[in-house]
């Protein structure tokens, strides 16, 4: 029976590739973007401004009127069309202090047609009218910075690497934008200080592209078109900005001190109660245009976004992304590859179910339950050139409870070999002391080393791999990951996988589950037959199979095969049906909840579901997911609803609700219901002043939390925060109660 099971799952894992061979040739063809070449690249000349540029979104200066224009945008999404009905004109200037970009985004529909759900910084570009510029200032065609704005002046910035395989949406640069609106269109005027950029010295031509989203018709356009399966971060498809003359490196020191006062009431054992004040901050020095050294003392994260709670119905540890700004800055330089590396890319499987991340910053300054732990000091170094990157981080975490003071250190370097291959090496160390219940103190040192690589065959086919080892108290564990993908405008086909031994335990990393071999092949086809209704863009479908086996015996631990379809509408809405076949083979009892325990054995079951996602740029937007079917030895009915109502960009009401109803599951044939609710309110005075309140009610964790925050950006990246946190028990007496009020003033100064 076991042999038959292994053969069955081998056939199921091969299914995506067999279907790809049979069905793939029938996929409809769409117009394709020409392959990039030096001859096809468009050029724009940057002019030095002779007069003073006032950043007001009006472009009244003579320098703007005489500057060369980049126009003739092409539509890139949802389909490639060499022209667009919504013209954009872009000009570029510079002086000794700033790089200036100005864009006039024509639209005869008038101001009432513009879509902006709210005024958040780091907004969701697909939900908004947007203009953006993507810059490659190192000349490596791998590293880009993108700056985007909405018609009401909300800002977003991102670092992206390797064409978008790694990215950091939480990077915040020091820059300004001002906008104006009229019935003929809207203007965005950017001023980006040279000190906010890292560029190759002596390079006078930069890679560049300009993009725009006309949201009411869900159309993206670009100065240099790129394939729709990519983004403008794939700068190999970009154009050239000529005659750029950045100033030579000069003294570039920033200070970011903070003052903090807080009042805490906490009923937890040995918790702090009372009022205290604190001071700390960072000093940031850029000795050259492509290097950065940063020192931090008494590092504080009081203003960081709270974690979004989840109900975990899997046999894996939950991966929660990093939200603290200090660790998000230049985080890509310390990314050691692996699978599913969150916002810092990685090759990643399409399932998003399994993570192997050799280095993960949430291991510093946070407990296993997400409780903040004090950080005394730290030092960070970052270096980027056209072919080489390097990063280092050292931090000292203060003693807390039985955990003694802990030192964290990580060093990483990567090198480009030619234009298609990157190889990196990472070394991480965690050294600390632990006191046991008898008062005995013992040292605990954990070392991790990793080597990773990425290579491309052309622009469409990519290979990734990583090998890592960890050692603690004489126990050595190994992990390896790989990925092979081919991504075209009409298909995505590939396989990712991992092999992780039982003793692999990087204390500065994250592994969803050790002692496993994971294999994840997948195929997706995009079909656009001629008979589609005018309101439909495409039909997308394909299988995704993932299996986990014991690395020693080869026995199946669990597997999932999902076939998903998608209907994409012209307004951006989707309907996504899915059916999945699950096979679970737990060797020991699995506890999902205290009252729900799954016995060892074999469980095979089928589930189905449907997701409806409306136009997310509309004033009222919703997403509804419902799934039903068997679950281990019982049944699970699950529903999730998220909604946002924005009567104006100044007010946004969001809410999410998830319910899971388990019936006759586990050893006791338990019936169990979980509820997770998360209403949120945001009120804006302008893009720089806002108030928000976010409440989470989770019956599975028996926890209810409230996070309310006022934020005022009184100068670029200088803030006043007032934060109120409240944690309550869902059932009286089950969990402690804690409340805190925090006032924090953070100032960024440029010397």
Residue 749 counted as domain residue: no
Residue 710 counted as domain residue: no
Q: What is the CATH number of the domain that holds 227?
A: 2.60.40.1190
Distances (CA, A) of 727 to 116, 167, 300, 373: 33, 33, 20, 17
pLDDT tens digits for range 718-734: 999 999 999 888 775 55
pLDDT tens digits for range 527-575: 999 888 989 999 999 999 999 999 999 999 999 999 999 999 999 999 9
Q: What number of other Cβ atoms are within 10 A of residue 321's Cβ?
A: 15
Residue range 349-369: mean pLDDT, rounded: 75
Q: Who has greater pLDDT, 449 or 727?
A: 449
Residue 159 counted as domain residue: yes
Going by C-beta distance under 8 Å and a sequence separation of 6 or more, which residues neighbour residue 579? 562, 563, 606, 607, 608, 609
pLDDT tens digits for range 609-661: 999 999 999 999 999 999 999 999 999 999 999 999 999 999 999 999 999 99
CA angle 33–36–39, rounded 5-degree value: 120
- Is residue 197's pLDDT more than 90? no
Domain count for the chain: 1
Residue 136 counted as domain residue: yes
Distances (CA, A) of 134 to 105, 144, 330: 17, 6, 17
Closest by CA to 485, choosing from 473, 497, 467, is 497
Residue range 240-269: mean pLDDT, rounded: 86
Residue 81 counted as domain residue: yes
Q: Who has greater pLDDT, 179 or 416?
A: 179
As a whole number of angstroms, the distance between CA 213 and CA 129 comes to: 5
Pairing between β-strand 274-285 and β-strand 291-299 as defined by DSSP bridges: antiparallel
Distances (CA, A) of 55 to 98, 102, 178, 180, 509: 11, 10, 6, 11, 44
Beta bridge partners of 627: 609, 638
Residue 133 counted as domain residue: yes
Residue 465 is predicted with a pLDDT of: 94
Q: Who has greater pLDDT, 22 or 146?
A: 146
Q: Residue 700: is it exposed, middle or buried by C-beta count within 10 angstroms (0-12/13-18/19+)?
A: buried
Q: Who has greater pLDDT, 249 or 264?
A: 264
pLDDT > 70 fraction of the chain, expressed in percent and rounded: 90
Residue 398 counted as domain residue: no
Q: Which domain holds residue 187?
A: 38-242
Residue 362 is predicted with a pLDDT of: 84
Tokens representing 16 are 């995506």
* DSSP state letters, 52-104: PPP-SS---SHHHHHS--B---EEEESS-BSS-SS-EEEEEEE-SSEEEEEEE
Indicate the average pLDDT of the chain. 87
- Is residue 38's pLDDT more than 80? yes
Residue range 88-109: mean pLDDT, rounded: 95
Q: What is the pTM of this model?
A: 0.84
- Is residue 40's pLDDT more than 50? yes
Going by C-beta distance under 8 Å and a sequence separation of 6 or more, which residues neighbour residue 447? 427, 428, 429, 470, 471, 472
Kindly indicate the confidence band of residue 343, based on its pLDDT and cuts at 50, 70 and 90: very low
Residue 172 counted as domain residue: yes
pLDDT tens digits for range 512-530: 889 999 999 999 999 999 8
Residue 52 is predicted with a pLDDT of: 95
């Amino acid at each position: 029976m076991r042999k038959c099971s292994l053969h069955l799952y081998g056939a199921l894992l091969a299914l995506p590739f067999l279907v790809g061979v049979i069905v793939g040739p029938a996929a409809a063809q769409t117009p394709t973007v020409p392959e990039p070449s030096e001859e096809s690249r468009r050029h724009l000349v940057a002019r030095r401004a002779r007069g003073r540029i006032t950043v007001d979104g009006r472009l009244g200066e003579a320098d703007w009127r005489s500057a060369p224009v980049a126009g003739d945008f092409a539509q890139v999404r949802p389909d490639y069309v060499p022209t667009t009905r919504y013209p954009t004109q872009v000009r570029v200037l510079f002086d000794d202090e700033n790089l200036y970009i100005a864009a006039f985004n024509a639209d005869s529909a008038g101001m009432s047609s513009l879509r902006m759900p709210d005024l958040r910084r780091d907004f969701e570009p697909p939900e908004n009218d947007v203009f953006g510029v993507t810059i490659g200032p190192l000349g490596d065609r791998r590293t880009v910075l993108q700056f985007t704005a909405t018609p009401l002046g909300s800002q977003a910035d991102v670092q992206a690497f390797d064409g978008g395989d790694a990215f950091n949406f939480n990077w915040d640069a020091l820059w300004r934008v001002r906008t104006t609106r009229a019935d003929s269109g809207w203007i965005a005027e950017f001023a980006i200080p040279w000190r906010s950029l890292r560029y190759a010295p002596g390079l006078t031509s930069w890679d560049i592209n300009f993009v725009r989203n006309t949201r009411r018709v869900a159309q993206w356009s670009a100065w240099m078109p790129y394939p729709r399966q990519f983004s403008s971060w794939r700068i190999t498809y970009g154009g050239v900005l000529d005659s750029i003359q950045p100033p030579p490196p000069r003294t570039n020191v920033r200070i970011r001190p903070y003052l903090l006062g807080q009042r805490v009431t906490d009923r937890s054992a040995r918790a702090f109660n009372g009022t205290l004040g604190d001071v700390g901050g960072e000093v940031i020095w850029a000795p050259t245009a492509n290097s950065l050294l940063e020192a931090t003392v008494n590092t504080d994260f009081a203003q960081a976004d709270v974690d979004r709670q989840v109900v975990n119905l899997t046999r894996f540890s939950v991966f929660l992304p990093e939200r603290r700004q200090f660790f998000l800055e230049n985080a890509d330089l310390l990314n050691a590859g692996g699978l599913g590396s969150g916002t810092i890319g990685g090759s990643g499987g399409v399932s998003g179910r399994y993570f192997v991340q050799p280095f993960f910053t949430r291991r510093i300054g946070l407990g296993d339950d997400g409780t903040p732990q004090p950080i005394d000091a730290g030092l960070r170094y970052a270096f980027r050139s056209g072919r080489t990157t390097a990063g280092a981080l050292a931090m000292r975490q203060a003693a807390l409870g039985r955990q003694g003071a802990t030192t964290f250190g990580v060093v990483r370097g990567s090198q480009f070999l030619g234009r298609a291959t990157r190889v990196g090496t990472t070394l991480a160390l965690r050294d600390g002391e632990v006191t046991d219940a008898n008062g005995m103190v013992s040292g605990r040192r954990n070392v991790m080393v990793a080597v990773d690589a990425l290579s491309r065959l052309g622009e469409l086919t990519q290979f990734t791999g990583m090998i890592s080892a960890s050692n603690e108290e004489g126990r050595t564990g190994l992990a390896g990951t790989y990925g092979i993908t081919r991504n075209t405008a009409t298909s995505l086909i590939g396989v990712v996988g991992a092999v992780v031994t039982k003793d692999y335990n990087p204390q500065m990393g994250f592994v969803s589950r050790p002692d496993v071999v994971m294999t994840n092949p997948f195929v997706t086809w995009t079909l656009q037959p001629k008979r589609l209704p005018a309101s439909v863009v495409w039909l997308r479908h394909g299988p995704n199979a993932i299996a986990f086996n014991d690395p020693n015996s080869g026995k199946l631990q669990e597997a999932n095969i999902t076939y998903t379809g998608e209907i994409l509408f012209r307004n951006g809405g989707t309907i996504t049906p899915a059916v999945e076949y699950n096979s679970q083979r737990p060797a020991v009892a699995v506890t999902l909840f205290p009252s729900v325990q799954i016995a060892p054995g074999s469980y095979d079951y089928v589930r189905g579901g449907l997701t409806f996602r409306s136009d997310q740029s509309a004033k009222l937007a919703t997403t509804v997911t419902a799934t039903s079917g068997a679950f281990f030895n019982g049944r699970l009915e699950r529903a999730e609803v998220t909604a946002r109502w924005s009567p104006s960009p100044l007010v946004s009401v969001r809410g999410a609700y998830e319910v899971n109803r388990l019936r006759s599951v586990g050893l006791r044939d338990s019936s169990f219901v979980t509820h997770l609710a998360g209403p949120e309110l945001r009120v804006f005075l302008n893009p720089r002043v806002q108030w928000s309140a976010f409440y989470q009610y989770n019956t599975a964790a028996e926890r209810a939390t409230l996070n309310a925050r006022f934020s005022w950006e009184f100068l670029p990246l200088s803030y006043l925060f007032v934060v109120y946190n409240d944690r309550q028990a869902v059932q009286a007496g089950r969990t402690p109660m804690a409340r805190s009020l925090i006032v924090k003033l953070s100032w960024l100064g440029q010397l």
